A = this chain, B = another copy of it.
């Protein structure tokens, strides 16, 4: 029983199906732009599209209802994801404007910022930047070097770039279109002794600010960078990052501040404020915790990037699978007919496991979006109460993990799809080159993937903090692994079972067996890391050396944890499917995803006695069989993504024989 494409799509569309439909209808005119445009033309075109997008009212939906939005946080991220089928420069520029810039004003600002700016931001009248990354500090943003020093004499902050490495870099919207920027800087207030003589004490600012004042860590400030005519404001030097691998419709630039003065109210003061006399106050006392609370509210950016990466992978697979069905090469010696390249096992191996994992990631992404919506949508925000910190931290961890795994998967999948289309896949007219080039940076922006996985692993370890120090290594292991994964197991109905005995009745396509293998690995890796890192807690330990020696282990533990989350999300998603034919097909896709994941790590399962050699070979055989089983449904599976035809139409999908009437007719007589 084969499901209809509509039934499959509707299952995939999930909770925000209406948003997806409206994006498909409203926005399919935003298809990829001509790759031959010059950089300036491309930027101008994308700016035009940003304004068109604002005119649809779609970007408003994510903002607070108090200021003309709809508070539909999940909806706006889902829409963003669907935009990923179109031009990715538009996606990213929209993400900078409404997600990062607008999002920071909404989430880190208070009414004094909201009333004045949100409407203009939603309407695209005020374009802005999110100026966090510096030339010298990208991953370690807690230690960025830009300073904002409060001057009580004028009730202003003075923003400075104290050294070339503190220049804000790669900032979207900065090189051409932005009028304001949310600037992240070390907030410094003068120590009282210097308060009376603020102006002359200014000479001691900059890198040595802490010696002359009190530093309170990184905070965000709203800084005008251009006047209405587009000229840089006094004291602001604006550079252009120039040509990039992709996303050339986005104007990334560099900002240097030379004693730029902004009023005291420019501080986005939801979590901390400075009074007129220079007294600093915050509802969160610990500086590190305050910083991560601020950063955490921006989790939406990471979730959005993961979503955009998913759409890009889906689009690449739609192109490669349809080409693989149409393209024939080498005659079958039995029939004399040329074989469709997707009928070759090697070709199926390239595309179908990647397709199955793309399905799995779509469900994981939907879970993330739903959880973010639950935590961030206005109805959840009870009169400005602090968000549920534990749930928020958990969401950040999952977002970090899914973003890392999802964007690497996209990069790898798009590369594979390009190769699977041969020379045709290298031509820009066939869309894959742009897709590859545009998404390539997804693995390192909005958090470098390796750093994100470390963040995830550290959160997993620290969630349980001091409480577990008393446990034996084994007890610790069970505790750590169990806590992190049991909740999910309950949610998906796949119960946690005792570890299997290798060599006994292995059933690769048993869902509980798959979960046991994945979860067992995640638990074991995490416990091992915990054990290896424990000596670092001792006084005088070589913390860096201990951490560094375990770093690959730590990253494996994080990856394995995400594997379980993604698997669980897939299983839960199948559980929600109403149509039995859809359910049956998705069960097969889930088998392929799970077994391809286990196959990839089969050395680990062998090394740790979880699977025998005969069992890992049966995993390989099952992956092959599943590829053959899903081959007839490959087209249906890519059609299920519901990518508007207008966004993928290209010569690659056309049969050259259909191009003209000549086809197999006899050519004209020779002169």
Could you tell me which A residues sit within 8 Å of B by CB distance?
35-36, 38-39, 133, 135-140, 143, 149, 151, 158, 160-165, 167, 169-170, 199-200, 202-208, 241-246, 258-259, 261, 329-335, 338-339, 343-347, 349, 411, 415, 418-419, 422-423, 425-429, 432-433, 436-437, 440-441, 443-445, 448-450, 542-544, 548-549, 551-552, 555, 602-603, 606-609, 613, 616-617, 624, 656-657, 659-660, 662-671
Contact = CB atoms under 8 A, between A and B. Distances in A.
A241 B436 CA distance: 19
Contact of A613 (B246, B544, B607): B607
A422 B138 CA distance: 8
B164 A660 contact: yes
Contacts of A347: 450
A400 to B, nearest CB: 15
A613 to B, nearest CB: 4
B656 A167 contact: yes
Given A332-B544, A440-B418, A602-B603, A670 B205 contact: yes
Contacts of A135: 656
A151 B208 contact: no
B329 A667 contact: no
Contacts of A202: 669-670
Given A151-B670, A245-B418, A425-B444, A165 B259 contact: no
Contacts of A603: 602-603, 606, 616
A206 B334 CA distance: 25
A544 B425 CA distance: 26
B244 A428 contact: yes
A163 B665 CA distance: 8
Nearest to A327: B136
A422 B140 CA distance: 13
A346 B637 CA distance: 36
A670 B206 CA distance: 11
Nearest to A167: B656
**Which residue, A137, A207, A440, A443, has most C-beta atoms of chain B within 10 A?**
A440
B415 A245 contact: no
A245 B548 contact: no
B607 A163 contact: no
Contacts of A419: 443-444, 448-449
Nearest to A332: B544
B205 A666 contact: yes
A602 B258 CA distance: 56
Contacts of A151: 670
A623 B242 CA distance: 39
A149 B428 contact: no
B669 A203 contact: yes
Contacts of A149: 670
Contact of A437 (B139, B164, B245): B245
**Which residue, A36, A261, A347, A427, has most C-beta atoms of chain B within 10 A?**
A427
Contacts of A542: 334
Nearest to A147: B667
Nearest to A205: B667
A428 B243 contact: yes
Given A242-B36, A423-B138, A603-B602, A207 B133 contact: no
B163 A664 contact: yes
Contacts of A609: 613
A403 to B, nearest CB: 14
A535 B602 CA distance: 30
A143 B330 CA distance: 8
A333 B544 contact: yes
A441 B421 CA distance: 11
Contacts of A607: 602, 606, 613, 616-617
Contacts of A161: 667
A444 B329 CA distance: 14
A671 B259 contact: yes
A441 to B, nearest CB: 5
A243 B35 contact: yes
Contacts of A606: 603, 606-607, 613, 616
Nearest to A553: B345
B671 A261 contact: yes
A136 B323 CA distance: 12
A199 B349 CA distance: 51
Given A544-B332, A624-B552, A656-B136, A427 B666 contact: no
A164 B613 contact: no
A14 to B, nearest CB: 31
Contact of A242 (B199, B334, B429): B429
Contacts of A165: 656-657
A36 B35 contact: no
9 contacts: A138-B329, A138-B423, A170-B426, A204-B666, A206-B667, A334-B544, A423-B444, A606-B607, A609-B613
Contacts of A552: 345-346, 349, 624
Nearest to A426: B441
